[in-house]
Amino acid sequence: MDEMRIPAHSIEGRTALVTGAGSGIGKATAKLLAQSGARVGLVSLTEEELEETRHEILKGGGEAFIAVADVSDPPAMERVLQQIRDQWDRLDIVVANAGINGLWAPIEEIPPEEWDRTLAVNLRGTFLTVRASLPLLKVRGGAVVIVSSVNGTRIFSNAGASAYAASKAGQAAFARMAALELAPHKIRVNTVCPGSIHTKIDDNTVRQDLEKIRPMVEFPQGNVPLTRGEPGTSGQVAELIWFLVSDASSHITGAEVFIDGGESLVQG
Ligand code: NAD
């Protein structure tokens, strides 16, 4: 039998790329990884929010650089990776987190361009982030975490979120395909599926005519069994992501981890 050992969880000295690092889950994750000794490349849409994240990381003694890029734009993502090559010439950790809720509406009311926009940021953006990262990741192996959702994986009662749920289901399928394809390169790929988490994502959600299609359950007002309805925090999701990129999860790949206080168990 293997000798039992206390795992060394350190990610000190590793290099990480976090998309959507200007707010919410991405920001909390970037800060936690930096606090744990990783150097972090911060990607998001605006310089303003990235500067704030970087400022907080530097204040805590961490190291980070910022790259304004749209994750759905292939040349922009290639440029981000070139920046990482130039700065650190190494990449160990990728957190594909950038995402939008987009337009939530009855299917007939979703313009095809809105469908495409949601899929482009959430699904194509994930693909492009991983794709651009692979040449560097393959040098030593590493860990990828894809931020999906309970929507599209366990919850289907969120009226109007058909494009969002489809993009999140696509991310989970892509992650499993990638886990198998990249295992020989010692690259682990896992998915986290958060339930309702208190962030800014709702501020940019367009909800239209949902009363026409509302099902019998409510989200996120429905129960979160562990907290009597309170949403989770970005910090809680960041801790899970930290575990999945650290050596504490060295034998875990292709997994989907739900982080929702049990919410998806009561809302199918
Ligand atoms: P948020 O709105 O607080 O932050 C999103 C970040 O992504 C921002 O920094 C934003 O600028 C960036 N971003 C948006 N579009 C981008 C693009 N095209 N290119 C680059 N960056 C872009 O949102 P959040 O709640 O922290 O969401 C992060 C991820 O978590 C998303 O993938 C979301 O689907 C997922 N998620 C969130 C919840 C929740 O309840 N908050 C639940 C499940 C899953």
pLDDT of residue 240: 98
* Ligand 1 atom with least separation from CA of 25: 26
The conformation of residue 3, written as its DSSP 8-state character, comes to P
Task: Give the range among 22-26, 207-211, 233-237 with minimum mean pLDDT.
Answer: 207-211
Q: Which CATH superfamily is domain 15-258 in?
A: NAD(P)-binding Rossmann-like Domain (3.40.50.720)
Ligand 1 close to Cβ of residue 26 (< 6 A): yes
* Ligand 1 atom with least separation from CA of 234: 26
Give the distance (Å) from ligand 1 centre to CA of residue 14: 24
Q: Domain residues of the chain, as ranges?
A: 15-258
This prediction has a pTM of 0.96
Structure tokens at 66: 């910022």
Confidence of residue 229 (pLDDT cuts 50, 70, 90): confident
The predicted-structure confidence for 179-201, as pLDDT tens digits, reads as follows: 999 999 999 999 999 999 999 99
Give the mean pLDDT of 114-143: 98
The answer to whether residues 41 and 12 touch, using CB atoms and an 8 Å cutoff, is no
pLDDT of residue 198: 96
Ligand 1 close to Cβ of residue 263 (< 6 A): no
Give the mean pLDDT of 160-178: 98
* Ligand 1 atom with least separation from CA of 24: 26
Measured by CA distance, the residue closest to atom 17 of ligand 1 is 70
Separation of alpha carbons 218 and 221, rounded Å: 6
Residues with a known catalytic role: 164
- Dihedral pair phi/psi, residue 94, rounded to 5°: -130, 125
User: Dihedral sign, CA of 82, 255, 224, 221?
Assistant: positive
Q: Which one, of 136, 146, 153, 32, lies nearest residue 88 by Cα?
A: 136
Ligand 1 close to Cβ of residue 24 (< 6 A): yes
